[in-house]
Structure 1
Amino acid sequence: MKAKWIIILAVAIPIVAASSTLSVLKFGKKPAEYRTAIIERGDITSIVMASGTLHPLLTVQVGSEVSGTIKALYADEDSEVTQGQLIAKIDPAPFINRVNEAKANLKMAGAKVTSASAEVVGAEVQVKDTKRTYDRFEALVKDGVVTQEDRDVTLTKYETALAELDAAKARYELALGELEQVKAALETTELDLSYTDIFSPVNGTVLTWVVDVGQTVSARMQTPILFTIAQDLREMEAYLDVNEADIGRLTVGQPATFYVNAYPGQTFGAEVAGIRSSPKVTQNVVTYEVVIGVDNNALKLKPGMTANATVIVAEAKDVIKIPNAALRFRPPVPEKDSREKPGATPKRNNKNEGNVVYVLVKNGKIKSIPVEIGVSDNSFTELVKGDLKVGELVAVGLSSKGKSFDMPSRRLL
């Protein structure tokens, strides 16, 4: 009896094994399995990230209009200054001497004008006197009392007096011109003297100064810069370099935040204040300068700090969120020819399907759902229109365990 059962099992086991192998050969493949993600509801913020440098809203370079020796300095780096405050002084002694010299020249020029004016008056008197003599001789020559020669002598004196009057008037005009010239020279020297006092043109903070007491500055070729003053560091700007792919998404007025390495974990508020049209090209990378206005009331931020900024381009509140991976995913196309090479990469659907996601349905299968999308960030995209519900699973890729493959054939024994 025992030998009979042994014979039956020996025959049955190969038959079952062969049946299983034939079943696998008949179907050839296991169904694909998918990695999935869940449809959620929440907020989406679309951003553009860029970095740049902080600058004062207005920087003024204060120089010297005259050459001379620095006699005193009344401001230092980081000094708070007000408009009109005296911040430096150039030795005024040489300029005082020039002013005194110009005043003396003015007195001399005034005396010349007075003298020339008196000469004009004297010439006018002479003209009147010679004119009377000439008129008298003109009447007497007709009566034969004086000769024609005597009459001609009086005419010559009269004409000479007229010429002298014209010359006196010319000398007077020349003296007036010299007087005006001397007055202008005096004003120039007085102005130069006033330039020896250097005042702050704005309210602000001294960023740099480049001179010391006793140093000589020369203004002959160009104005020497003595101080750099930042006007009111409570308002600053950051100049960001934004990639050309993102520049079209930015507009003036968009909110922004940024951080600096000096204050880890702290963010500062800002707003897009300007978008420059001039491109910058660095190693074939095109960027555009975007200016963001910065509120620095706490005076924590310093000029020159690197600002790592995030500009908020668009926001969507309390919307259905589709994982971006679901929008990129496309399932493999079934192979039409079973004779294709083993191990070949499954073909994917290359047709332009628009925006489509694949929802997981019964038996591990998927169904395509067309969608219209809106605001997007790095992880999720807003669902504007489409038959998707919160909590549904969507395919985002093929599972490494569930990828379809050809079963290896087994040799029947």
Structure 2
Amino acid sequence: MKKVILGLVVMVFLGLSGWLGYYFYKKANTDPIVYQTEKPFYTNIIKKTVATGSIVPRKEVQVKSQVSGIVEQLYVEAGQIVKAGQLLAKIKIVPNVANVNNAQSSLQTARINYAEAQRELARQQQLFDQKVIAEQEFNRIRLDANLKKEALTSAENNLQIALKGASKRTGGGSTLVYSTIDGMLLDVPVKVGTSVIERNNFNEGTSIATVADMKDLIFEGKIDESEVGKVREGMDLNLTIGAIEGRTFKAKLEYIAPKGITEEGAIKFQVRAKVLLDPKDFIRAGYSANADIVLDQKENVLALKESLLQFGKGKDSTYVEVETGPQQFKKQLVKTGISDGINIEVVSGVTKDNKVKVKEPEAPEKKNS
């Protein structure tokens, strides 16, 4: 029994000795950790926030028909430049049976009334000539006859409008549609033969054309509530348009919505900025764009990569590790300024000649299975 126990002890001893020998061998042959260093540098730092949106004309109107009917002729197409008052389309009136019937009935009534008034006026004229009635009474009869004549003319015009869309006084058998502003035709959604509905209190009506001033464009976008307190009217914006590569357009912020809206679970505030264009620039309406709103900027300042900063406990405990000798470092408190998310201004604590230790990436935590 004693021999068995002794043998087990010897085996355990030999196993531990072998493991310790392997451990110290590996440790002796492991390469020492060599930390990389970087130097502070001078650069321009721009602190900004981004608003997403689109480019739209400030003045965009939809020209609609005043009457219902069928498009008889179109004189323009999308992309043309038009002037205010320029003829766009011609609408042919399609008579409404009920309206025509009412107009014909009113006209017949007006004719009967006018004929009766004329007979009464002739009879009263004879009495007046014979000095039987006073001039005042005769004038009243003559006025009534004139009113009946005007009612007859109005009834004839109403029938003409119901049938052809125009009265005898104005002439014509179609309604002409004119542009209301100077600008470019963005869209002409109707074609010859298309039925259109008039604009009234109960219906928006059919759009004949969309006209916009493409020389006065604005950027409309939204920013997050966490950033809206940092922006103000008059700030400069740099616009990046996805469809136009390699160019940045300038804009001036002119409006910030006083009330936010909920969008995808976050509160957003609408902003609007005037796009500053050169006379030769042409941007199509509806382009999507991103606006960089400059909150603060500094030129030629000493900076570090923000990833080099380390943080201790308490206030004003931001520090970096500065090299004092080969692979020897010490903590150095630093005071920082503005940051663009990548580089950060260093106000004090290090100089451009210091070498700052690059932190090793932290190993990911193992999850318990």
Question: Scaled by the length of structure 1, what TM-score is found?
Answer: 0.60
Structure 2 residue aligned with 1:377: 340
Question: CA 1:390–1:177 in 2, change beyond 3 Å: closer, same or farther?
Answer: farther
Confirm whether residue 324 of structure 1 aligns to residue 306 of structure 2: yes
- 1:311 is aligned, of 263, 270, 293, to 293
Structure 1 residue aligned with 2:348: 386
Structure 2 residue aligned with 1:357: 319
Confirm whether residue 52 of structure 1 aligns to residue 53 of structure 2: yes
Q: CA deviation at 1:234?
A: 2.6
Q: Distance in 1 between matches of 2:215 and 2:305?
A: 42
Q: Is the 8 A contact 2:53 2:289 kept in 1?
A: yes
Question: CA 1:200–1:321 in 2, change beyond 3 Å: closer, same or farther?
Answer: same
Question: CA 1:307–1:179 in 2, change beyond 3 Å: closer, same or farther?
Answer: farther
Confirm whether residue 283 of structure 1 aligns to residue 282 of structure 2: no
Structure 2 residue aligned with 1:156: none
Question: CA 1:175–1:260 in 2, change beyond 3 Å: closer, same or farther?
Answer: same
Q: Distance in 2 between matches of 1:388 and 1:124?
A: 123
Confirm whether residue 122 of structure 1 aligns to residue 128 of structure 2: yes
Structure 2 residue aligned with 1:406: none
Q: Is the 8 A contact 1:256 1:270 kept in 2?
A: yes
Question: CA 1:43–1:203 in 2, change beyond 3 Å: closer, same or farther?
Answer: same
Q: Is the 8 A contact 1:47 1:314 kept in 2?
A: yes
- 1:224 is aligned, of 185, 199, 206, to 206
- SS of alignment partner, residue 263 of structure 1: coil
Q: Is the 8 A contact 1:124 1:165 kept in 2?
A: no
Q: Is the 8 A contact 2:255 2:272 kept in 1?
A: yes
Q: Distance in 1 between matches of 2:43 and 2:123?
A: 100
Q: Distance in 2 between matches of 1:259 and 1:110?
A: 76
Q: Which amino acid aligns with 2:46?
A: T
Mark the structure with the bigger radius of gyration. 1
Q: Is the 8 A contact 2:322 2:332 kept in 1?
A: no
Question: CA 1:215–1:392 in 2, change beyond 3 Å: closer, same or farther?
Answer: same
Q: Is the 8 A contact 2:67 2:93 kept in 1?
A: no
- SS of alignment partner, residue 278 of structure 1: coil
- SS of alignment partner, residue 258 of structure 2: strand
Cα deviation code 1:232-265 (max 9, x no counterpart)? x133222223222222222222222233333332
- SS of alignment partner, residue 392 of structure 1: coil
Question: Scaled by the length of structure 2, what TM-score is found?
Answer: 0.67
Question: Number of residue pairs matched?
Answer: 308
Structure 1 residue aligned with 2:39: 38
Q: Which structure ranks higher in relative contact order (CA pairs < 8 Å, sequence separation ≥ 6)?
A: 1
Q: Which amino acid aligns with 2:333?
A: I
Q: Distance in 1 between matches of 2:298 and 2:44?
A: 6
Q: Distance in 2 between matches of 1:123 and 1:396?
A: 121
Confirm whether residue 234 of structure 1 aligns to residue 215 of structure 2: yes
Question: CA 1:283–1:36 in 2, change beyond 3 Å: closer, same or farther?
Answer: same
Q: CA deviation at 1:180?
A: 6.5
Q: Is the 8 A contact 1:67 1:216 kept in 2?
A: yes
Q: Distance in 2 between matches of 1:124 and 1:245?
A: 96
In structure 2, runs of 5+ residues without a counterpart are: 1-23, 162-166, 364-369
Q: Distance in 2 between matches of 1:110 and 1:252?
A: 72
Q: Is the 8 A contact 2:61 2:212 kept in 1?
A: yes
Q: Which amino acid aligns with 2:238?
A: T
Q: CA deviation at 1:201?
A: 0.9
Q: Give the structure with the larger helix fraction.
A: 1
Q: Is the 8 A contact 2:85 2:179 kept in 1?
A: yes
Question: CA 1:272–1:65 in 2, change beyond 3 Å: closer, same or farther?
Answer: same
Q: Is the 8 A contact 1:123 1:165 kept in 2?
A: no
Cα deviation code 1:288-310 (max 9, x no counterpart)? 22223222744542122211332
Q: Distance in 1 between matches of 2:151 and 2:266?
A: 61
Q: Is the 8 A contact 1:66 1:195 kept in 2?
A: no
Question: CA 1:203–1:115 in 2, change beyond 3 Å: closer, same or farther?
Answer: farther
Q: Distance in 2 between matches of 1:170 and 1:234?
A: 62
Q: Percent identity?
A: 20
Question: CA 1:260–1:194 in 2, change beyond 3 Å: closer, same or farther?
Answer: farther
Structure 2 residue aligned with 1:243: 224
Q: Which amino acid aligns with 1:42?
A: T
Q: How does 1:62-101 map to 2 (within 5 A)?
A: 62-91=63-92
In structure 1, runs of 5+ residues without a counterpart are: 1-20, 25-30, 129-163, 331-348, 402-413
Question: CA 1:235–1:63 in 2, change beyond 3 Å: closer, same or farther?
Answer: same
Q: CA deviation at 1:165?
A: 6.1
Question: CA 1:356–1:400 in 2, change beyond 3 Å: closer, same or farther?
Answer: closer
Q: Distance in 2 between matches of 1:192 and 1:285?
A: 59
Structure 2 residue aligned with 1:270: 251
Return 308-317 or 253-262, whichever deviates more.
Answer: 253-262
Q: Distance in 2 between matches of 1:111 and 1:86?
A: 45
- SS of alignment partner, residue 257 of structure 2: strand
